Structure formats: structure tokens, C-alpha cells
Structure 1
Amino acid sequence: MRLRMFVLPLLFCLVFTLIPPQVWAGEGGLAPQARSAILLDADSGTVLYQKNIDEKLSPASITKIMTMLLVMEALEQGKVSYNDKVRISEHAASMGGSQIFLEPGEQMEVKDLLKGVAIGSANDASVALAEHLAGTEEAFIERMNQRAKELGMTHTRFQNPNGLPAPDHYTTARDIAIMSRELLKYPEITKYTRIYQDYLRQDSNKPFWLVNTNRLVRFYEGMDGLKTGFTAAAKYCLSATAKRGNFRVIAVVLGEPTSKARNREISRMLDYAFSQYTNHVVYKKGDPIGTVRLDKGEERDLLIRAPHQFSVLIKKGENHKDYTRKVVLTARLAPVKKGQTIGEVLLEKQGKRIAEMKLAAPRDVQRAGLWTLMKRTTKSFFFFPEEAKALEQPAS
């Protein structure tokens, strides 16, 4: 197995600072009334503010971020489609609290159930989606906890897909930030979470008006998600995200005493981030990064593209030029599975890692057949002029 590494000085003059792992840490700071809070750059995960971020608390309906994440992953994998019709069970229809008043036996498409969850925080729609994806709510909860473990959410345990009060159902501000970042890898979700008001069953005799439980999507510039939460035990909670230009920020508060305090402190956290920081995009989603040689594969060279935007957090007013990026791609023997890690991009400053982006195979590549391998061996002995001309062409 051969290793190829490219160390490229950044070809632009950047305004940087090495962001410390915590800023404004403590009991006061940006969110004095929150039980716990975290503010971070969505791309790099750099924490700009934190308060009690590992305290285990009830997340209420912020739980639905994990539910939406599993739905988006299933959509990407082709396991379900937006137009699937979901038959509502008696169990799903029995959910109390926030709901869209689903009836047993009613059918609703996945996209409308997702809208009910994202906008209206519907507990019944959450369970209906859970049952559609996993067969039973219990099986879906197992998936939720397994996915949390895979993401490194070490202080989280889910007991349901909607956040209704349940013993031993908890998470932390840090873990909410982790799953929020993961959900935002699916930009389609903000097409739902940014909607302020909409209708379900609009063409029926029982239309249902949805109003976003996150009022800040209407009143805060750039906000397009993600999820509110409230129960008597959890108090007022919110995982919020806002984007200005290419700079996206995530702010989480748990245990706020009122909805006004929640919105005020989230706004203050975001204001701080946008006033003090910005970012510089290193790769946009889909930008070509390099090729991986696949020995004995049906494809010999696999082009790797950026799976999502990759950027550097910039502190306004600072001026440094000593950042480098390293692209590490590993040649390997076919077959290769879609999603298999085959490299990474590293951003470093003075030898210290600042950020990283894992690179994965974009598709399956099977092992080449004997005939294909024989032809390649033959070509290594005979080099034809027309092939030489083709090889001289610049890579696309």
C-alpha cells in the first residue's frame, strides 16, 4: 500500500488566529441564564464559547435533530424517498404535546412528515417516521443510540425519537453541537427548518397551519434552523444555526428560564461570532482534491472531491501566513466500498493540527476482471502513439 502526501502552502494571504479551545468559559459570559451553552464554527468545529457543556440534561424536542439526521441519511442511501407514503399507526397518532394531529390509518408522505417535525416539532410525526424507517419505534431508538455512539456523543442516551419526558433520556450541549454539525452536512434539511409558516393537508378539508417553533428564523439575519425544545424539566432549549456568506455558526442553549431569554442569549452568542470572526473557504463542496490509485480496480484512478465545505476560521484583526494544508491519499487494492475512508485533508499551523476533513470513496469500485488486468499488462509493454497523445492532455 502506497502513501501519497501533498503539502501545499496556502496561496492566499489570510487573517488568522489560533482559536483557543474555549473562550468566555464560565458561569456568565454570553449566556448567563442558560444552564449550559456552546457556540462553535460549523465547518471546523472550533468552540468560541462554552458553559457546562458536558452536563447531562434533558434536551426535550432537540432530540428530533437525531431523528431528522437518521431520516436524511436514509434518504441519501435510497432506503426511503421523500414521496413514500407512510401509514400512521395508532401508537404514532397517540403522541401528546406538539403534534400535527395524525389519525390512525391516515397516510402522509415522508416530506410532509419531515416538515411537521422540522417546523412544528410534531411528536406524532417523529414516531411515524421512526416506525417507517426502522419498523418499530424501539428499533429506531436503538439506531439513534448507535449513531450517537458512532459520532462520539459520549454523554447521550435516547429513550424516544421526539423528546417527550422519559427516565434516563439525556444529552449535553457538546453532544447536541456534534449531531447538529452532522445534520448540517445535508443542506436540504434547512429547506425545512428555515420555513416560518406553511400548511399540511392544504388540499384537504382539514388543512393544518404550521408555524415554526423557532421564531428567530424570521427575526435573526441568516438563521435557517435547527430545533427548539421545551418541557417543564428541560426548560427552554434551542440548537440554532445561522449563515452569513460562507460562514456558518451553531449556538446551543439548554435550561433557559423563558423563551425570551433563550432567544436573547442565542442572538447574543451569534452576534459575538459574526462580529469577531469570519472564515476563508479552502474547498467548496464538490471541489476536486486529488486522485487515489486503485491497484487491480475496474477504475485505476478514483477522483476524490470535497464532501462538504472545508474552511479556516479567521479572527478579525489578526494577521498570520504560516498555515499549510496537507492532502493525504492512500493507494489501495480494489475492491473499495462507497464511503470507505481513503484519505484526509489536514490544516496545520506551526506543525499543530487545526482542522481536518476525512475523504471517502464516492462509489463502489470492484476488482477488475482477468481480461482487463491482462490488457493493462500488455499496455505496459506496448505504448501506442495515440495513447501518448491522450496522456499528455491536462487533467480535467
Structure 2
Amino acid sequence: MGASDLARLQFAATTGIHWLFVILTMGLIPLVAIMHTRAALTRDPGTRAVWERMTRFWGQLYLINYAVGIVTGLVMEFQFGLSWSGLSRFAGNVFGAPLALETLIAFFAESTFLGMWIFGWGRLPRALHVALIWLVGLTAYISAYWILIANGFMQNPVGYEMRGGEARLSDFWALATNPSALLALAHITLAALLTGGVFVAGISAWHFARRTADVRVFRNSLRLGLLFAAPAGWFVVTVGNLQWPLLGRTQPMKLAALEGAGTEGLQAMFTKQHGAGNYTPSHDWLRGSMDVMVNIANPLSIVLIVAFVLLWKDWLVRFRPVAYLMTALIPFPFIASVGGWVFRETGRWPWVVYGKLTVEEALSKVSSTSLAVSCAVFIALFVALAVTNWTLIARFARRGPDGAHLGAVEPLPEHLPQGAPGSGSQGREDKEAVPSF
């Protein structure tokens, strides 16, 4: 393999693995925020206890994924300087600001809010504590927006002018409203909600199938997961289809290569404009990744709608095969999203910045040996982190709410149910015992 192949393999593998962490983080955080809000708003002590147990259980799984995933994000950024210095020189003045904002938001604002939420159990007023988890979710999606602004520029360069062979930002609003970024953000948001909903519903169904379920916790979790996953599965396909006209305007060669027809004229045009070279993406990669995404997303959306209907009278969890099927669905949104990412990126070949900077021009002057070593090290590290992440998630998911350690502190009096010792309102008996954490 040549230097460019090794650099592409390294970035593709590490980005693909990192994306598995990101999509689950984005998908879980709205569900956890809703659970916490529901717990804070209810006045019934028993119901509050159920929703708090849900918040702590799913919040702990979210934290495991976030903590391990953020390591992959830090390591991945080294590759810009290591393998793609030409990209940094050419476009750094354009998407350097979005990447810097993403770093500030993800590694400072989001992490700060999350830390305050983790250690705020029983120490902060309930309203402030709930606001923190919503701020975590908001900053997560803002962070994704800035990443997609940078990627959107690479897909459809706008808002810049050329000076001395380098792209310089000239219109920040055009960059910030790039349709290649905004449509991708909508598509990814729905894919994340689909992934998070299937994850929550699948684990909940597993506990019902194994007859180990905390019934109220996992019934509510199953319903909430499907309430998000079923419509998200339907609309993610719709928003995906909305991107075809945009691709026809901005990347016609991708669509021509996908269909395997009409590439000759476009190849001749690119050759005339940019010199000799192969400007046609691989049909096999495009068709294969497209088929993976579509052949999973379409049937999955139908299955989820049926599953949502089967929630009536608990039919979904009364039959073990159906419950196990829900658990078996957990990997499929991840696989479909990786297929979509491969389709988006491989269709840009041979450009790093479409029509402006090729892979060879963006590549650092690094030997193949150095790239082979870094490629092996990076991929091994990322695979190890992914295995660690899913091993921990599976372990704590099997334990259920009783194994959650998040929020294991003495609560403030206002967090205690009426009539509990220390609540300041003795004499009332609770309808249900509140679990201790």
C-alpha cells in the first residue's frame, strides 16, 4: 500500500470507530434528559423514584460511552498534522475556526456541564441539576454542527476566496449555512435518535425476555425508546432522500458513479479543468455502502413501527422471541450509519476539498513506513477502546438499575419524598418505598 492508501485507511478506520461512540452519545443524551426532567416534575414519590432510577441507569451507560469515546476524539485530531498537513495549509483558514469552536464546546463547555451534572446529585437544586443535563445535550449537538460545517466545506466549498494558493474565509454566513452541512446535520440527528432509541428499547426488552426486569423502569424505558426510534427511523430515510438533488448540483460525479453511467463526460470535464487523473469514485464502494444503509434503514423503520404498535397490552414483552428480536436490532443502526458515512466520504474521490484539493495534494510528506506504523498503532488503540467500551456497557446493562453508581450521594431535603426522614414534612407515609442509591 502506498502512503496515500495508508493515510486514508488510518483516517477512515479511526473516524469510523469514533463515530460509533458519537452517534450513541448523541442518541442517548436527549432520552436521559427527558427521564431526569420527568423525575424532577412529578410529585408522586413512587413515580419519581422510578424515573430517577431510569435516569441513573441510562445516564451511567451514557457516561461510559462518553468517557471512552472522548479519548478517541482526542487521538483522532493528531492525524491532521501527522498525515494531512496539506489540507491544513490549504483550508485551515476556513475551517480552523469551526474546528476550534467544536473543541471548545466539546472539551470545555460540554465536559464542564456534564461534570457538574455527575457530581450535582443531591447537592444542587433540582431545577439547576435538570438544566445541566439539557445543556450537555445542547452542547453535544452544537459540537456536531461545527464538525459538519468543516466537513460540509470539504463536500461543497463555499464562503471562501483564494489568496496565494490558499482558501481564505470571506463569508462566514455562507459557511455556516452550507446546505451540505445542514442536511447532513438533520440526517445525523435523526440517525442518532434512532440509534439511542433502539439501544434503550433493546436493552429493556432483553431484561423482560430474561425475566430480570425492574418492570416499571424497563416498561417506561421501552416505551420512551420506541417513541423516539419509530418516528426517527421513518424520517431518517425521508431526510436522506432530500440530499439527492443537492448531490446532483454539487457532486454529480458521485451520482454518475453510483449508477455506473454518465461518468465519461464528467471525467473529460474534470480532466480539462484540473489535468490528467482519475476523477471517478469507485462504483463498488458507493453501491456497497449505499446498499448497507438503505437495506438496513428501510426494513428497520417498518419493524420499529410494528414494535411500537405491539406495546399495546405489553404484547412486545410477553413473547420472548419478539423481545429478543428487539435486542438483536441494537447493532443495525450503527452499521447503517457507518454505511452512510462511507458513502458520503468515498464519493468525494479523489478530492479532499471537492474540486479544489486532491488527496495527493493534501497528504503530508511522510514515509510509507511511518504511516504504516502509525496506522497499525492508531487502529489497534481504537479497536481496544471500542472493545473496552462495549464490554463495560454490556456488563452494566446486564446488572440493571441496582448496579448503577451514578448519583450515589445523600440527597438534599427537597429531593426527598414528603414524609421521609429529613424531608421536613414528617407524618405522611409514602405509597412506595424509595430505593436508596
Shorter-chain TM band:
under 0.3
Richer in strand (by share): 1
TM-score (norm 2): 0.24
